[in-house]
Structure 1
Amino acid sequence: MPRNVSPAFISEKSKQENAPIFLYVLEKYDSINDLRIAGFDQDVTYQGEVYSKFPVTHEFIGENNQGQIDQVKVRLGNVSRLIQLYLEQFDLRGKKVTIRMVWADHLTDPDAHMDDVFYIDSYTADQKNVEFTLTGKFDVLGVDLPARRYARNYCAWKFKSPECGYIGGEVSCNKTKQRCKVLENYHRFGAFPSVPTRRIYVM
Structure 2
Amino acid sequence: MILQNSLLELNKIEQDAIIELFEVDLSKIVGDKTIFRFHNGMNEMRQAIIWQGNIYEPYPIKAQGFEKSGQGTSNRPTLTVANISGLITGLSQDYDDLLGAVVTRHQVIVKFLDSGNFNEGNPAADPTQEVISNYVIERLTSLNSETASFELALPCESDGALIPARVIIANTCAWQYRSSECGYTGKAIADEFDKPTDDLSKDKCSRCLKGCKLRFGEHGILPFGGFPSAAKLS
Which TM-score applies when normalising by structure 2? Answer: 0.64
Contact 2:81 2:149 (C-alpha < 8 Å) held by counterparts = yes
* Percent identical residues: 20
Contact 2:138 2:153 (C-alpha < 8 Å) held by counterparts = yes
What is the identity, as a one-letter code, of the residue corresponding to 1:9?
Answer: S
- Indicate yes or no: 2:96 matched with 1:85: no
Cα distance, 1:169 vs structure 2: 2.5
Against the structure 1 CA distance between its residues 27 and 149, is the aligned structure 2 distance closer, same or farther, given a 3 Å change threshold?
Answer: farther
Q: Which has the larger radius of gyration?
A: 2
Match of 1:37 in 2: 38
Cα distance, 1:40 vs structure 2: 2.0
Q: RMSD of the TM alignment (CA)?
A: 3.6
Against the structure 1 CA distance between its residues 185 and 89, is the aligned structure 2 distance closer, same or farther, given a 3 Å change threshold?
Answer: closer
- Indicate yes or no: 2:8 matched with 1:11: yes
Contact 2:83 2:148 (C-alpha < 8 Å) held by counterparts = yes
1:45 & 1:179 partners in 2: Cα distance? 45
2:110 & 2:86 partners in 1: Cα distance? 28
Contact 1:166 1:185 (C-alpha < 8 Å) held by counterparts = no
Which ranges of structure 1 fall in alignment gaps of 5 or more residues? 193-203
Question: Number of aligned pairs?
Answer: 185
Against the structure 1 CA distance between its residues 191 and 67, is the aligned structure 2 distance closer, same or farther, given a 3 Å change threshold?
Answer: closer
1:28 & 1:11 partners in 2: Cα distance? 34
Cα distance, 1:88 vs structure 2: 2.1
Specify which of 40, 49, 54 is matched with residue 49 of structure 1.
54
Match of 2:143 in 1: 125
Against the structure 1 CA distance between its residues 76 and 104, is the aligned structure 2 distance closer, same or farther, given a 3 Å change threshold?
Answer: same
Match of 1:196 in 2: none
2:23 & 2:180 partners in 1: Cα distance? 34
Match of 2:177 in 1: 159
Contact 1:165 1:188 (C-alpha < 8 Å) held by counterparts = no
Structure number with higher helix proportion: 2
Cα distance, 1:80 vs structure 2: 3.2
Against the structure 1 CA distance between its residues 180 and 28, is the aligned structure 2 distance closer, same or farther, given a 3 Å change threshold?
Answer: farther
Cα distance, 1:65 vs structure 2: 1.5
Match of 1:99 in 2: 105
1:104 & 1:184 partners in 2: Cα distance? 46
Which ranges of structure 2 fall in alignment gaps of 5 or more residues? 114-124, 198-202, 213-223, 227-234
Q: Secondary structure at the match of 2:57?
A: strand
1:185 & 1:87 partners in 2: Cα distance? 17
Instruction: Report Cα offsets for 1:52-89 as digits up to 9, x if no partner.
Output: 11111111311122497522110011243222222222
Cα distance, 1:19 vs structure 2: 2.0
Contact 1:160 1:166 (C-alpha < 8 Å) held by counterparts = yes
Which TM-score applies when normalising by structure 1? Answer: 0.73
2:109 & 2:72 partners in 1: Cα distance? 24
Specify which of 173, 177, 190 is matched with residue 192 of structure 2.
177
Against the structure 1 CA distance between its residues 26 and 149, is the aligned structure 2 distance closer, same or farther, given a 3 Å change threshold?
Answer: farther
What is the identity, as a one-letter code, of the residue corresponding to 2:41?
Answer: F
Match of 1:24 in 2: 22
Cα distance, 1:25 vs structure 2: 0.8
Cα distance, 1:118 vs structure 2: 0.5
Against the structure 1 CA distance between its residues 87 and 179, is the aligned structure 2 distance closer, same or farther, given a 3 Å change threshold?
Answer: farther
Q: Secondary structure at the match of 1:81?
A: helix
Contact 1:155 1:177 (C-alpha < 8 Å) held by counterparts = no
Against the structure 1 CA distance between its residues 83 and 185, is the aligned structure 2 distance closer, same or farther, given a 3 Å change threshold?
Answer: closer
Which stretch shows the higher mean deviation, 10-19 or 126-135? 10-19
